[in-house]
């Protein structure tokens, strides 16, 4: 352990800058309300700034009335273009997700802005395919989508990252590109919120993973997106009584990893 920390990498070793877009909606205009989505979003925004070296000027938060279709799309475009080649981008969404059946038998997932209409998903909501497009447009080195919503039609692959026992593992995951996404659950699953938690099951465990370093599964001093996905899959499934199981995927075959290193560890 002493050897590991003597040679520990820091956030500044991996990234020049960090950007985050945080979205939370619990007071919808046309669909049912949620209880803790805004609280979840604000908690994640604070955690990123206080513990993980995200500059406050680079963290944009859209909650309730501000989380409109146009604001979300414009903010996605803005953050993807702002990040440079050695930067990281985190996008967090807490709100409703829905799935629409396609004529060929497939399905398309959507994230619902505040004014979304259930029977007009294509024109009033954000197709999940757009997240993949946004990720391909950005110069950023690492991009991670944390989606606290359940839906089907995830346009991503199940490709695994490198094993921590791979030669030059640290160099590879910190230098190679990555485009990763973790969602709260799949189609026909429901986001579980409880007053005793004050959060959803997904975000409650996301906070545990990051704030208390419980997501550092191999105790090497930092948390990768792959570790985070494994942690959330196990813990959220248990806490939701098997009502939702998080899904972790990659948008590309790149083997890099979005990395969290706390200021305390630095």
Give residues with Cβ within 8 angstroms of 136, minimum separation 6: 179, 251, 252
> What's 157's DSSP letter?
B
Question: What span, in angstroms and rounded, lies between the C-alpha atoms of 62 and 228?
Answer: 24
Q: What is the pTM of this model?
A: 0.90
What pLDDT is attached to residue 2? Answer: 39
209: left (phi over 0), alpha (psi -120 to 50) or beta: alpha
Write phi, then psi, for 248 (nearest 5 degrees). -115, 125
- Residues 124-149: b if buried by 16+ CB within 10 A, e if exposed: bbbbbebbbebbeebebbbbbbbbbb
Tokens of 97: 């997700």
DSSP 106-138: -EEEEE--TT--GGGHHHHSEEHHHHHHHHHH-
Helix (H, G, I), strand (E, B) or coil at 141: coil
Question: How many beta carbons lie within 10 A of that of residue 72, not counting itself?
Answer: 25
Write phi, then psi, for 43 (nearest 5 degrees). -65, -45
Give residues with Cβ within 8 angstroms of 212, minimum separation 6: none
Question: What span, in angstroms and rounded, lies between the C-alpha atoms of 150 and 183?
Answer: 7
Per-residue pLDDT of the chain (266 residues; tens, 9 = 90+): 434 444 567 888 899 999 999 999 999 999 999 989 999 999 999 999 999 999 999 999 999 999 999 999 999 999 999 999 999 999 999 999 988 888 877 788 899 999 999 999 989 999 988 998 988 899 999 999 999 988 765 655 554 555 555 556 677 788 899 999 999 887 777 777 777 788 889 999 999 999 988 999 988 888 999 999 999 999 999 988 888 999 999 988 888 999 999 875 44
CB 177 within 8 A of CB 142: yes
β pairing state of 17-24 and 87-94: parallel
Sign of the C-alpha dihedral computed for residues 152, 155, 158 and 163 taken in this order: negative
What pLDDT is attached to residue 218? Answer: 87
Q: Where are the alpha helices (DSSP H) in the chain?
A: 2-6, 11-14, 37-51, 69-82, 121-124, 128-137, 169-175, 201-211, 225-239
């Amino acid at each position: 352990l002493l050897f590991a920390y003597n040679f520990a990498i820091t956030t500044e070793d991996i990234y020049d800058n960090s950007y985050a877009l945080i979205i939370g909606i619990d007071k919808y205009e046309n669909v049912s309300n949620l209880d803790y989505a805004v609280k979840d979003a604000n908690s994640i925004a604070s955690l990123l700034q206080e513990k993980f070296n995200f500059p406050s000027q680079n963290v944009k938060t859209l909650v309730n009335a501000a989380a409109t279709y146009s604001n979300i799309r414009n903010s996605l475009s803005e953050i993807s273009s702002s990040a440079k080649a050695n930067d990281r981008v985190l996008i967090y969404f807490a709100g409703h997700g829905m799935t629409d059946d396609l004529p060929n038998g497939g399905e398309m997932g959507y994230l619902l802005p505040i004014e979304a209409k259930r029977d007009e998903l294509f024109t009033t909501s954000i197709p999940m395919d757009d997240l993949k497009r946004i990720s391909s447009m950005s110069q950023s080195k690492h991009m991670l989508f944390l989606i606290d919503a359940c839906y089907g039609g995830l346009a991503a692959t199940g490709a695994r990252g490198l094993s921590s026992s791979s030669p030059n593992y640290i160099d590879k995951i910190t230098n190679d590109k990555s485009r990763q996404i973790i969602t709260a659950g799949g189609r026909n699953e429901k986001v579980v919120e409880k007053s005793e938690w004050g959060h959803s099951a997904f975000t409650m465990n996301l906070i545990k993973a990051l704030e208390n370093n419980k997501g550092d599964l191999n105790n090497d001093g930092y948390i990768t997106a792959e570790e985070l996905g494994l942690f959330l899959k196990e813990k959220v499934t248990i806490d939701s009584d098997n009502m939702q199981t998080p899904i972790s995927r990659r948008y590309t075959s790149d083997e890099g990893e979005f990395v969290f290193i706390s200021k305390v560890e630095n």
